[in-house]
Amino acid sequence: MRIIPAIDIIEGKCVRLTKGDYNKKKVYNENPVEVAKAFEGAGIEYLHLVDLDGAKSSKIVNWKVLENITLSTSLKVDFGGGIKSDESIRLAFECGASQVTGGSIAVKDEKLFTSWIVKYGTEKIILGADVLNEKIAINGWQDNSGINLFEYIANYKNKGIEYIICTDISKDGVLKGSSIGLYRKLIQQFPEIKLIASGGVTDISELNELESIGMNGVIIGKAIYENKITLTQLEAYVS
């Protein structure tokens, strides 16, 4: 199972939200490259980078942060937030993203998102499934689409998608554990997908449980920044 620390960006700074609420923002570091280098120094290979300004906008806003991180580290970065056009996905890859995550666009423009799967390949495109009560949320989690999570995944699985990040919004940033029950149901229904857990991971012991049910990766955010999970613990886990 891949360990994937998260960096969320607002105005070029490393922040965390609580349950996706932009009014509950905490700045942890004004230099995201420093944070990325610390992850790399702990032996971590992957990074989940989210442009929260972009998620609320119609385009990528913090592309320079992505470029600076990929130029300054060897981390394999999956990037999301503001990927809503051919121009924005091209910019993300030009700035060094290894993979791109599409959430809102996969709901709003199925034809466009499917064309990216075909053009860039299933290894490069991640389906973002941000969910509250098993319904897909969009636009930086501000709107409920009303679409059922399982139907959403089944649709894109038929279009060839392999990688899915599933974020339970009710768990995100509150440090009360991840949605193991939901992930277990998803893996039982879609055993072929490479499912990445996101939201709520609080304790290093959860990683073994997530790995045991067959997760491909786990994104860890606030637990790192609040020292619930240390880089030393993660270094031991990945080694």
With a CB cutoff of 8 Å and minimum separation 6, the contacts of 231 are 38, 39, 41, 42, 224
Cα torsion for 65, 71, 77, 83, to the nearest 10°? 50
CATH superfamily of 2-238: Aldolase class I (3.20.20.70)
Contact present, 62 and 9 (Cβ < 8 Å) = yes
Split at pLDDT 50, 70, 90, the class of 98 is very high
For the full predicted model, state whether its pTM sits above 0.95: no
pLDDT band with cut points at 50, 70 and 90 for residue 111: very high
Give residue 132's pLDDT: 87
Max CA pair span of the chain? 44
Q: Which of 51, 53, 78, 130 is catalytic?
A: 130
Q: Which tokens go with 4?
A: 């994937």
Q: What percent of the chain shows pLDDT beyond 70?
A: 95
Our answer to whether residue 168 is catalytic in this structure is no
Q: Which two tokens stand for residue 99?
A: 């993979």
Reported as a single tens digit per residue, the pLDDT across 2-32 is 999 999 999 999 998 876 778 888 999 999 9
Residue 103 has a pLDDT of 87
DSSP code, position 202: -
Q: Nearest Cα to 225, choosing from 86, 18, 1?
A: 18
Residue 137: pLDDT band by 50, 70, 90 thresholds? confident
DSSP for residue 13 = E
Catalytic residue list contains 130: yes
Residue 120 confidence (pLDDT): 98
Residue 229: which region, alpha, beta or left (left: phi > 0; alpha: psi -120 to 50)?
beta
In whole angstroms, what is the distance from residue 146 CA to residue 140 CA? 15
86-90: long-range contacts, CB 8 A cutoff, minimum separation 24: 86/112, 87/59, 88/54, 88/59, 88/60, 89/116, 89/120
Nearest to 184 by CA among 195, 173, 172: 195
| pLDDT recorded at residue 41 | 97
> What is the Cα–Cα distance from 66 to 43, expressed in whole angstroms?
20
Single-letter amino acid code for the residue at 164:
I
User: What are the pLDDT digits (tens) for 172-181?
Assistant: 666 778 889 9
| Tens-place pLDDT, residues 176-224 | 788 899 999 999 999 999 999 998 899 999 999 999 999 999 999 999 9
